[in-house]
A and B are shown apart, each in its own frame.
Chain A
Amino acid sequence: MLARHAEDLFWTGRYLERAEDTARLLDVTYHGLLEGGASEAGMAWQEVLDALQLSNLFRARHRHVTAEAVEAFLVLDESHASSIAASIGRARENGRNVREHLSTELWEALNSTYLELRAEGRAEELAAHPHEFYRRVRSRCQLVAGAAAETMPRLDAWRFLLLGRLVERAEMTCRLLRVRAPRPVGDDHQDEIHYWLVMLNAVSALESYARRFGAEITPARVLELLVLSPEFPRSVLFCLRAAETQLGALEGGVAAPSVRRALSRMRAELEYQDVAVLLERGAEDALERTRRGIAQIAERIEACFFATGPSPERHVYESI
C-alpha cells in the first residue's frame, strides 16, 4: 500500500487510542476524587498532566491546576494535539485521507464520533455530566475499533491501524504507571491503595485484577497485571506481542527485520522480567526506559515503512 496511506492509518489508530485513554484517565480521576477525598484534588489533576507529559503546555494556557481548567484543556481545547476533541478530529482527518481503505461502516463510526463531539452544547454537557460524557467518548472509540475489527480485511491497512493503537496504548500504560510509580514500601497506605484502584479502573482492569489476585491491592500485582500480563489486553506485554504479530505479517519494508528485532528484544525482556526485581531496582526508571523504547520503535516503524523511495528534493527533473 502507499507509504503515505500507511502513515495516515497508523496515526488514525494512535489518535483514536489517545482519545480513548485520555477519556478513561479523566473519568477515573474525576470520580476517584469524588469517592476518595484523602488525596488533594490539585495534586490528582497535576498527576494527570504529568502522566500525559503536558504540564508545560498546560501552564502556557492556564494559571491554576483546577478540575475545570484541566478538563477544558484535555477535552475540548483544539489548540493542541492531545485533547480528546483534537485527537478525534485528527483521527477523522487522517481517516478521510485514506477513506478508500476504510470500510464504510468504519468510516461512518469515525465520522459520527467526530460529529457528535462537535455538536453544540458539548461544553455544558461536560460540565453537567462528566461521567456520561467520558463514557460516551470511550464507547464511541470502542465502536470505531469494533467496526474496524469486524469489517477490515486482515491486510496491511488493518495492520497499520492496529499497530498505531497498540503502540499508543503501550506507551500510555507506561505513562500512567510512571506518575506514581509503584514502590516496594508503603503498600498499606490508604491513599496509595485508592490511587491504584483508580488506575486499575482507568484501564478497565479492576475486574481482571480481582479475578486473578482477589480484592487485596498491592503495587507489585498492579504492575504484574498492567505491564507483564500476557492475557490482559491493555498490558504493555500484551500490546508488544500483538504489535510483533502485526509487524511480522506486514509485507516488505526494507529495514523491517531490524524493527522486528528491536520489538522482539523488548518483548522478551518483559517476558523474563521479575516484578520483585523490577520494584527493587526502581519501577519508575524501568517504566520510563520501556516507554522510550516503545517510542523509538514507533519512530523506526515510521522510518521503515513511511519514508520509502527517493525524497522529492533529491529527484532530478527530467528534461524533455
Chain B
Amino acid sequence: MLAGERLPYERAFGFDEAVDSDCRPRPHYAALFEELARLPPPELASRERLRDAIFRRLGITFAVYGDSTGVERTWPMDLVPRIIPAAEWAVVERGLAQRVRALNLFLDDIYTGEAAAIRDGIVPRRLVVSSNGFVREAVGIRVSHGARCLVAGIDLVRDGDGTYRVLEDNLRTPSGISYVLENRAALARVMPALSARHRIRPVHHYASSLLSSLQSIAPKARGSKPRVVVLTPGIFNSAYFEHAFLARQLGAELVEGRDLVVENHNVYARTTKGLERVDVIYRRVDDSFVDPAVFRPDSMLGVPGLMGALRAGNVGLANSLGCGVADDKAIYPYVPALIRYYLNEDAILPNVDTYLLWEPDQREAALARLHELVMKPVAASGGYGIVIGPQATEEQLEICRKEILCDPRAWIAQELVQLSSHPTFIDGRLEPRHIDLRPFVLAGERIEVVPGGLTRVALPKGSFIVNSSQGGGSKDTWVLAEPEVH
C-alpha cells in the first residue's frame, strides 16, 4: 500500500518504526499514513513554511559551537511524528524509572553512604575515583529523597529487532525538554487534523511536575512555597533558550552567577528590593562552574561560597554536584549490575553491548574489530569525538587505536547498533532516517517519566549521528493514551 502512487516509502535495512518488513504500516501508524496521503505536495510545502515561521517568530533557535556564520539556527522539526503505542511505552516507562532509581541510589551510596557498591565489588573503586564526574567536594552533602539526579535524560535506541536499549545516561544537565514541549505545540498548529485523530498523552504539565520535584529538595524550614531559581551560564550558552523557557514556565527567576550572593552560608538573589533568600537552585551550569571559589577561580559563571551553603544545608541544588560519576561511560557497563544490586531486579532496558577497554582481554578483542565497533570517549557528550568503525578511514582508526592504547580508561567500544528508522520528509518525499529517543525522568518524592521525550533524527541518508549540534533534526513524539483500536 505504501508503495502506492500518492505516498511512496521504501524502508531501509533494519527496524522501521512505522512499517513492517513487508512495508505495510504498523497498526498504530495507519491513521498517520492516511492523513499524510491527503496532503498534496504544495500543501506540504506550505505547512513546512508555516512551521519555520512559527519557530522563527518564537525565537526557537539553537547555537552551534564552532559555527561562526550565524549565531542561531531555527529548530528543525520534521512534520511526521513518531508514535509509540501505550503497551510498548509502559515497559519503557518502568525501565526508565527503575534505572534512574538505581542510579540515584548509587550516587547516594557514593557521596553520603558507605560506598557499598564498591565494597561489595559491583563497581571497581578506581573507575569511580578516576571519573571526571566524581566530585570529591560533594562527599557528605545530603540531598532530600536522595534525588541527586533530579532531571535525567536517558538516551534510548532500538536495535535491529526493535528492542529498546539504553545508549547512554545524561545525569548532569540534560537538555531538550523545551523542544519536546515546543514540538508538540507547533505540530498541533501545523498538522491539526493529524493530531486530532490520535489520543496523545499530554506533556504540558512538565513544568508543574518539575517545580514540585525542585521544591521537594528545599531546606526543611522554608515554608510551603520555597523560592526556586534557574541558574544559567548566560545568553551565549547553546541551551539558553531552554533555560529561559523553563524559568518562564516555572515562574522562577532566570539567574546568572553574578545575580547570586552568599552570606553566612545562605544564598541570596540581588533584586530591586535588595537581597532575597533563595531556597532551591535548578542549575544548568556544569559542576566545575558552580562555585569558582572551590573549582575554578577564573570563572565568572558560578557563585562564590555556594559550596558552603550546600554543606550547611541552606539551599537545594538540582542536579546535585557529582552526578557525572554515574553517567560516565566507563560506569555505564555496570548499570545493569547496579540495578540488580540496589533493587534486586533485572534491568528492564538492556544496555548496548560494550567493551571495557581498561580490561586487557576485552581491549584485545575490541582492537581487533575496531572497524566494526563504535568508539566513544568516556568524558564527552553531544556526539563529539565518537568514531564509528564502519564509516571511519584507516587513518582515523589508527589514531583511535593509538589513543586507546595511550589511555584505555578514556574510551569504551560498543557494538554498532543499527538504529531504527522512521519515515521523514526529505525534500517533500518520505524517506527512512535513523532516530533515537531521549525521554526525561524526574526524581523527587517520587519518580515521574515524561511520556515520550525528544526523538532526534539523523538527517543525512544512512547517518547515525542524531545530535542537534551535529546537524540532527527532531520529531514530535506521541505516546498513545490507550491500546490502539485495530
A interface list, Cβ under 8 A from B: 1-6, 93, 96-101, 104, 107-108, 111-112, 115, 156, 160, 250-254, 305-306, 308-310, 312, 315, 317-320
Contacts and interface: CB of A to CB of B under 8 A. Distances in A.
A252 B274 contact: yes
Interface string B241-273: 100110110001111101101110100111111
Interface in B207-235: 235
Contacts, number: 101
A319 B268 CA distance: 18
Contact of A104 (B58, B262, B270): B58
A6 B256 CA distance: 14
Nearest to A250: B272
Contacts of A252: 271-274
A108 B261 contact: no
Given A4-B258, A312-B258, A317-B304, A96 B271 contact: no
Give the 10 A-B CB pairs with smallest separation, nearest first.
A252-B273, A100-B248, A99-B244, A309-B270, A100-B247, A317-B293, A318-B305, A305-B272, A3-B270, A318-B308
Contacts of A2: 253, 255, 259, 269-272
B272 A1 contact: yes
Contact of B305 (A5, A250, A317): A317
A96 B270 contact: no
A251 B273 contact: yes
10 contacts: A1-B271, A96-B59, A108-B57, A108-B59, A111-B56, A253-B273, A310-B261, A317-B304, A318-B262, A320-B137
Contact of A308 (B252, B255, B258, B274): B274
Contacts of B47: none
A101 B272 CA distance: 15
B214 to A, nearest CB: 15
A255 B271 CA distance: 14
Interface residues of B, number: 37
A312 B262 CA distance: 10
B275 A308 contact: yes
B272 A308 contact: yes
Nearest to A108: B57
Nearest to B261: A309
A107 B270 contact: no
Contacts of B294: 320
A148 to B, nearest CB: 16
B401 interface: no
Contacts of B261: 309-310, 315
B24 interface: no
Nearest to A159: B272
Contact of A3 (B259, B304, B311): B259
Contacts of B58: 104, 107-108, 111
A96 B234 CA distance: 11
B307 interface: yes
